[in-house]
Amino acid sequence: MKESLIQIRNLNFRYPKSNFSLSVPELTINKESKVALIGKSGCGKTTLAHLIAGILNPTEGNILVSGKNLCSLTESERREHRAANVGFIFQEFELLNYLQVKDNLLLPFMINRKMEITNECKDRAHSLAESIGISDKLNQYPEQLSGGERQRLAIARALVTDPSIVIADEPTGNLDNETALTVMQEIIKQSTEKGATLIMITHDESLLNLFENTINVGDFSKTY
């Protein structure tokens, strides 16, 4: 039986000046699980992912990751936790246009003073760029890349720190079906090799068979 990694209890979240709310009575996600978050637009999939990553803090409740309660951390502590433990593939890429591809890849190390950019880190970044098909773009800038190439750069950057949790928000949204499958298989391969838990938000039902479990946001009394 797998050990639990993420435990959410009695969580409630509301955005200020908004009618939106998210309630999660109970949710457990185990280590090394591959989980897809599905549901209608606006149901709270991205909000839940941001809460798990520590980007947002709940109005009520607790979020434990490896026994650490994110809700008890300061914003700075949550940021350090996220940089060290969470690889987040954002829907809008969140790339820095003034940095070359090779530097965007190493950005997680640059923003966390406790993480050193070693030769091993650089080698991993190059290996990821090669495996995901952008190794010939390392000296270019994001604005010189196609949408699909920017997406692949965002994916490689999320994996470069060997995070224990990989969260992907529609990671194949700008890719054709064949490339989407290839990239998704690469994310799963990298996550599996490093023993990471993968949580993916998707509307693409054709990818769901790649995952062990599916969470339809709104039904939160299960263990995945």
Condensed to tens digits (0 to 9), the pLDDT of residues 192-205 reads 888 899 999 988 88
pLDDT in tens, 22-38: 999 999 999 999 999 99
What's the alpha-carbon Rg for the chain, to the nearest Å?
A: 17
pLDDT value, residue 182: 80
State the CB neighbour count (10 A cutoff) for residue 127: 14
Residue 218: pLDDT over 70: no
Mean pLDDT score, 164-192: 83
pLDDT value, residue 109: 86
* CB proximity list for 205: less than 8 A, separation 6 or greater: none
Enumerate the domain spans of the chain.
Answer: 4-216
Residue 221: pLDDT over 70: no
pLDDT band at 170 (very low <50, low <70, confident <90, very high): confident
Closest CA to 200 of 165, 176, 175: 165
**Cα distance between residue 51 and residue 134, in whole Å:** 31
CATH tag, 4-216? 3.40.50.300
Asked if 163 contacts 196 with a C-beta cutoff of 8 angstroms, the reply is yes
Q: Kindly state the percentage of the chain with pLDDT values over 70.
A: 96
Task: State residue 11 phi and psi, 5-degree precision.
Answer: -85, 135
Asked if 208 contacts 202 with a C-beta cutoff of 8 angstroms, the reply is yes
Task: Report the range out of 2-6, 70-74, 156-160 with the highest average pLDDT.
Answer: 70-74
**Cα distance between residue 54 and residue 81, in whole Å:** 8
Asked if 171 contacts 179 with a C-beta cutoff of 8 angstroms, the reply is no
Asked if 155 contacts 89 with a C-beta cutoff of 8 angstroms, the reply is yes
User: Out of 1-5, 23-27, 160-164, which region has the weakest mean confidence (pLDDT)?
Assistant: 1-5
Question: What is the residue-averaged pLDDT of the chain?
Answer: 88
Better-predicted residue by pLDDT, 92 or 141: 141
* CB proximity list for 167: less than 8 A, separation 6 or greater: 49, 52, 53, 86, 87, 88, 89, 158, 199, 200
In 3-state terms the chain splits into helix, strand, coil percentages (rounded to 5) of 40, 25, 35
Residue 161: pLDDT over 70: yes
pLDDT in tens, 64-101: 999 999 999 999 889 888 888 999 888 777 899 999 99
Mean pLDDT score, 40-58: 92
pLDDT value, residue 89: 86
User: Out of 53-57, 141-145, 155-159, 186-190, which region has the weakest mean confidence (pLDDT)?
Assistant: 186-190
pLDDT value, residue 1: 66
Is 200 strand, coil or helix?
strand
Mean pLDDT score, 143-155: 88
